[in-house]
Amino acid sequence: MRLLVVEDDPDLRRQITAALADAGYAVDAAKDGEEGHFLGDTEPYDAVVLDLGLPVIDGVSVLEKWRRAGRKMPVLILTARDRWSDKVAGFDAGADDYVAKPFHMEEVLARIRALLRRAAGHASSEMTVGPVVLDTKSARVSVDGMPVKLTSLEFRLLSYLMHHKGKVVSRTELVEHLYDQDFDRDSNTVEVFVGRLRKKLGVDVLHTIRGMGYTLSEPDDAA
Ligand code: CA
């Protein structure tokens, strides 16, 4: 899953970006409303953390522009604690949730997890396919109850496919959602990661659909 953070305070921007990256997401960051708007308008993010008080273009206007242009990604706004009117303006502009400053990073992480889950139509923080369980809260994966150790990219790949279970996801889509914008992207490496992930899971849930991409589905137990 790939996220965008738009925050002008450099320390806070670094903290949020680092916490999200530690949690296993690919993260891009923007320092003002103009840059943030451009990225959100041109890159396919799975969710956005958007500060409202931003230079050049304020957060509410950025959000309004995205929604007018049909951008539907979940957006978590950061508001000042005493400004209830900011929250109202934010929700009216199309925000999905908010966190008031100052906040605990754990709350931002939990709300992002919930937004991603809801966007994918899941109610629980555990996602399963066959014997494979991915706990979005602890970022742990197990097969038949046994923990499986994945690299951050393998985890990101499995998480994206889990959030889109049953759909065919193209290689291009995976490249766009697994790497941040500074990463040297090569769609061939996706195939390598898929191969490694398949081997680590050791069960038949990750399928290649020739010429189209990949899909996660229950193992075929009709012997
Ligand atoms: Ca600000």
Burial of 107 (0-12, 13-18, 19+ CB in 10 A): exposed
What average pLDDT does the structure give for the chain?
A: 93
Q: Which of 32-36, 77-81, 125-129 has the highest mean pLDDT?
A: 32-36
- pLDDT for 223: 40
Of 102-106, 167-171, 189-193, the range with the lowest mean pLDDT is 189-193
CB 25 within 8 A of CB 156: yes
Distance (angstroms) between ligand 1 centre and the Cα of 75 equals 16
Distance (angstroms) between ligand 1 centre and the Cα of 56 equals 11
Distance (angstroms) between ligand 1 centre and the Cα of 29 equals 14
* C-alpha span between 147 and 144 (Å, rounded): 8
Distance (angstroms) between ligand 1 centre and the Cα of 133 equals 38
Domains of the chain listed by start with CATH number: 2-120 (3.40.50.2300), 126-221 (1.10.10.10)
CB 132 within 8 A of CB 146: no
Distance (angstroms) between ligand 1 centre and the Cα of 100 equals 12
pLDDT category at 222 given cuts 50, 70, 90 is very low
Nearest by Cα to 181 from 53, 70, 36, 68: 36
- pLDDT for 221: 55
| Helix, strand counts (H, E) of the chain | 8, 11
CB 7 within 8 A of CB 28: no
pLDDT category at 74 given cuts 50, 70, 90 is very high
Distance (angstroms) between ligand 1 centre and the Cα of 177 equals 26
Q: What type of residue sits at position 147?
A: P
- pLDDT for 188: 74
Give helix 59-68 / helix 84-93 axis angle, nearest 10°.
Answer: 20
User: Could you list which residues have their CB under 5 Å from ion ligand 1?
Assistant: 8, 51, 53
Torsion angles phi and psi, residue 197, rounded to 5: -60, -45
Average confidence (pLDDT) over 159-163: 95
Distance (angstroms) between ligand 1 centre and the Cα of 4 equals 15
- pLDDT for 13: 98
- pLDDT for 83: 82
Distance (angstroms) between ligand 1 centre and the Cα of 214 equals 40
- Three-class secondary structure of residue 132 per DSSP: strand
Contacts of the segment 179-187: beta carbons below 8 A, 24+ positions apart? 179/2, 179/26, 180/2, 180/26, 180/27, 180/28, 181/28, 181/39, 181/43, 182/28, 183/26
Burial of 217 (0-12, 13-18, 19+ CB in 10 A): middle
Nearest by Cα to 67 from 37, 87, 88: 37
Of 19-23, 113-117, 118-122, the range with the lowest mean pLDDT is 118-122
* C-alpha span between 113 and 172 (Å, rounded): 24
pLDDT category at 185 given cuts 50, 70, 90 is confident
Distance (angstroms) between ligand 1 centre and the Cα of 108 equals 16
Instruction: List the strands of the sheet with 47-51, edge to edge.
Output: 26-30, 2-6, 47-51, 75-80, 97-101
Distance (angstroms) between ligand 1 centre and the Cα of 54 equals 5
The structure's pTM equals: 0.90
